[in-house]
A = this chain, B = another copy of it.
Amino acid sequence: MIRALIYGVTGYTGVELIRILSSHPQVEIAGGSSRQWAGQRAAAVFPFLRGERDFPLHSSEELQAAIKGDVAFLALPHGESAALAQRLLDSGIKVVDLSADMRLRDAEVYAQWYGAHKAPDLLDRAVYGLPEVHREKVRTAELVANPGCYPTSVILGAAPLMKMRGIDTNTILVDAKSGISGAGRGAKLNTSFCESGESFKPYSVLGHRHTPEMEQELSFIAGRPVRVRFTPHLLPMSRGMVSTMYLRLEEAISAAELRAAYENRYRDEPFVRVLPDGTLPDTAHVRGSNMCHVSVHVDERTGWVVAISALDNLVKGASGEAVQNMNLMMGLTETAGLEGLPFFP
């Protein structure tokens, strides 16, 4: 069995890693860290772990000292991963970093959005872990930067358009909507039930930190600079993300041609489904699964292409994708542990 460590195991991406890995046929959880609950057992935080699946929660330092694993998942706040990743790599442990620390290739761009980078030397070693774009590099990587939830949703939804004739890819308008688990597990007034239930609202209208990540990857795919105009909103639900994307038509394209581009691009992808005509993405149809559903539409009347993607922000947008990356890094079947159907209703 491959021995996995989870740093930051008591947050939502951490507990989702526990859920996924506990059904993984070739991986076992070797240990976990939690700043807030170090010294207690996992079942004290998550009562459903009581029994055979319980394990002690360490501080990050204790976990590094005490337990040697094969691969570490870093489900930590931005800024905390860099130094830790360096130490883990030095001791021969492969790393999947779920924070933003390793996602941007350019330390200066990182500094503009997050502050000075703490381990810029690592950026060259990190592979951006979107398997649908960088699969072969992920296979040989020792350090994978797991993409953000919004970038996964946007890149998968728009990638097939990036090299099509007749579409203006200079600027993509992205109107995105996320479930509340995307805001993390800390107690905050604006994510309390009474303030966020029966509420829908935009946030960070100018300058969300996921913007440069989307631009970096879409530009890579397009082979030239792509800008993203990005507006995130908060949904009154726990999990689920929809990105609705708008690109201007420069010349006529048929719906059939568009669909064919998507189907070609994703034919062999295990975790992307192009929906048939008449079916639209719905977060309820991907919840709890590692699947991303996409549809694409052409509005000839106004001259715009509309692409829509739906995924579960904690699975394909975070922990499921992280396991998918780990599978590739460790030479396992890419879909191992990730084949569960969504949780409906």
Residues in B with CB closer than 8 Å to A273 are 47, 50-51
Report whether A192 and B194 are in contact in the complex, using a CB–CB cutoff of 8 Å: no
Residues in B with CB closer than 8 Å to A303 are 171
Copies assembled: 4
Which one of A240, A284, A310, A342 has the highest number of Cβ atoms from chain B below 10 Å of its Cβ?
Answer: A284
Q: B179, B206, B291, B293: which contacts A299 (Cβ < 8 A)?
A: B206
Report whether A238 and B345 are in contact in the complex, using a CB–CB cutoff of 8 Å: yes
Q: Does A286 contact B (CB under 8 A)?
A: yes
Could you tell me the distance between the alpha carbons of A284 and B269 in the complex, rounded to whole angstroms? 33
Shortest Cβ distance from A182 into B: residue: B194
Report whether B48 and A194 are in contact in the complex, using a CB–CB cutoff of 8 Å: no
Q: B47, B180, B288, B310: which contacts A285 (Cβ < 8 A)?
A: B47
Contact A308 to B202, CB < 8 A, known contacts A187-B189, A235-B235, A293-B47: yes
Q: B47, B282, B306: which contacts A200 (Cβ < 8 A)?
A: B282
Contact A345 to B195, CB < 8 A, known contacts A200-B283, A227-B302: yes
Could you tell me the distance between the alpha carbons of A343 and B22 in the complex, rounded to whole angstroms? 12
Report whether A47 and B229 are in contact in the complex, using a CB–CB cutoff of 8 Å: no
Could you tell me the distance between the alpha carbons of A145 and B266 in the complex, rounded to whole angstroms? 44
Residues in B with CB closer than 8 Å to A308 are 202, 205
Q: Does A339 contact B (CB under 8 A)?
A: yes
* 11 further contact pairs, Cβ within 8 A, besides A12-B194, A185-B194, A201-B282: A12-B345, A18-B341, A48-B293, A175-B231, A175-B244, A177-B177, A197-B345, A198-B283, A200-B310, A203-B280, A340-B340
Q: List 12 A-B contacts (CB under 8 A).
A: A18-B341, A19-B341, A22-B339, A22-B340, A49-B341, A53-B341, A185-B194, A193-B193, A197-B197, A200-B282, A205-B295, A206-B299
